[in-house]
Amino acid sequence: MEFTLVPRHLRGNGGQLLSSPIPPAFYGDRRLRRFQFSTFPKNSSSQIQNNLHSMSSSVLMPSSTRCEVSSASTFQEVSDLADINWDNIAFSPLPADFMYVAKSLEDGIFMKGELQRFGPIPMSPCAGILNYGQGLFEGMKAYRKADGSILLFRPEENALRMRIGAERMCMRAPTVEHFVDAVKQTVLANKRWVPPPGKGALYIRPLLMGSGPVLGLAPAPEYTFIIFASPVGNYFKEGLAPLNLIIDTEMHRAIPGGTGGIKAIGNYSPVLKAQAIAKNKGYSDVLYLDSVHKKYVEEVSSCNVFVVKDNIISTPEIKGTILPGITRKSVIEVARRQGFQVEERLVDVEELLSADEVFCTGTAVVVSPVGSITYLEKRVEYGNKGVGIVAQQLYSALTGIQTGLTKDTMGWTMVVD
């Protein structure tokens, strides 16, 4: 099932956002700045733009601890880049200044959120997330174009995926409209952390968690939606060099009927052990097979996988145990537009080993070529040291759109500026 096929009732509740009861938060000994906006009417893009502009003017005042509407010169000043070495950013936390926080009411409607300075969040030890892992996350990127404007890539797809995940996990979720608006607010508030063109991206991490108290196993009575951001470079230490993957035949990422098809927080810590063993042996990451037949390719710990044979591109079909990646979906569309035959189907591990090319896709990894795969002690290497021509072509096409270097004829990018 593709995640755009969303039942209508999951798509939104009209975007009504009520006022927030979140207490003022503190970070260190400084009172945090809080930013509240008026209600969030449906289809009010111009009002959102106005809010965003005044917000961006007010929240970015350097070293001030108070929220004031600033002058144009302040806006100019705070639009500058953060003072870090942009040539040396990794895929590790370097939290940007502000995070967005919104909470649900008991009827499940999310209230209007606010921007707070990044920092610890108060949480009851009885919270559903802490006791029963009731949590989801998303991952997306914002790129800075040469003209200074900032682009998001298909943010509504992340919003929909979070809503589908929330339904599976009996959680309340923000509407698509609320989610996208919150992402834009977070990016604008942290604008100075969006790397210069060609130096990386601002990684945006929306989190949805059961924050209300539970004791017996039950859905939490209250949910918190948080978005934080961090500038990032390449996900793998290999950079753009081909990955060396190992197939784990003992440990599995997902089971039929489980939650492998959503971005549940609990899907990720179980793969840490397999990943650690693989990394200790010098591999970049682990490729998982299906847990029933142990012969069909599923995905890597945090990305989808594609194989190319005789110019036909194939990728495991989405059937509940594989995350429906937004990059996967976009790469399929781009490849088809370029005239490739793309098949979504069961991919036998033997096909993987005899492929001409293999590559991975994901927000974090973008399109990463695979140089070798090790399966049952046998290592298969791919031609041209793994830098396949199809992966290269798709990488260029996709990143061209994402970074604004090529015209977005797909309508996938959203300008935040």
Ligand X SMILES: Cc1ncc(COP(=O)(O)O)c(C=O)c1O
By annotation, the residues acting in catalysis are: 263
Which residues face 348 on adjacent strands? 296
When the beta carbons of 113 and 325 are compared against ligand X, the nearer one is 325
Rounded alpha-carbon distances, angstroms, from residue 290 to 249, 276, 299, 319 = 9, 20, 9, 11
DSSP code, position 385: G
326 belongs to the binding site for ligand X (CB under 6 A) = yes
From the list 97, 177, 299, 417, which residue makes contact with ligand X (rule: CB under 6 A)? 299
- Residue 286 near residue 275, CB atoms below 8 Å: yes
The residue among 56 and 315 lying less far from ligand X, judged by its C-beta, is: 315
The secondary element (H helix, E strand) that includes residue 216 is none
**Would you say 203 and 366 are in contact if contact means Cβ atoms under 8 Å apart?**
no
275 binds ligand X (CB under 6 A): no
Stretch that binds ligand X, among 21-29, 192-200, 241-249, 322-330 (CB under 6 A): 322-330
Least distance CB 61 / ligand X (angstroms): 33
- Where b means 16+ CB within 10 Å and e means fewer, 78-111 reads beeeeeeeeeebebeeebbbbbbbbbbeeeebbb
User: Can residue 221 be called a binding residue for ligand X (CB under 6 A)?
Assistant: no
Segment near ligand X (CB under 6 A); pick from 1-9, 28-36, 240-248, 302-310: 302-310
Residue selected from 95, 108, 119, 139 as contacting ligand X according to rule CB under 6 A = 139
Q: How far is CA 365 from CA 189, 362, 396, in A?
A: 25, 5, 14
Of the candidate residues 58, 244, 363, 372, the single one contacting ligand X (CB under 6 A): 363
Binder among 116, 211, 244, 302 for ligand X (CB under 6 A): 302
Q: Is 325 in the site for ligand X (CB under 6 A)?
A: yes
According to the binding rule CB under 6 A, does residue 22 interact with ligand X? Answer: no
Q: How far is the CB of 267 from ligand X (least distance, A)?
A: 7
Cβ neighbourhood burial of 358 (10 Å; 0-12, 13-18, 19+): buried
Residue 368 found at the interface with ligand X (CB under 6 A): no
Which CB, 101 or 271, lies closer to ligand X? 271
Residue 362 within binding range of ligand X, rule CB under 6 A: yes
Nearest-angstrom CA–CA distance, 212 and 270 = 25
In single-letter form, the type of residue at position 263 comes to K
Least CB distance to ligand X at residue 361 (A): 6
Nearer to ligand X by C-beta: 70 or 402? 402
304 forms part of the interface with ligand X (CB under 6 A): yes
Ranked by CB distance to ligand X, the top (closest) residue is 325
Q: Candidates 150, 297, 323, 370: give the one binding ligand X (CB under 6 A).
A: 323
Single-letter amino acid code for the residue at 30: R
Q: Does 162 bind ligand X (CB under 6 A)?
A: no
What's the rounded Cα separation, in Å, for the pair 289 and 247?
A: 7
111/300 with CB nearer ligand X: 300
Count CB-CB contacts under 10 A for residue 225: 25
Q: Which of 190, 315, 327, 372 binds ligand X (CB under 6 A)?
A: 327
Contact 359, 284 (CB under 8 A): no
392 vs 406: CA distance, rounded Å: 16
Binding site for ligand X (CB under 6 A): 139, 299, 302-304, 323, 325-328, 361-363
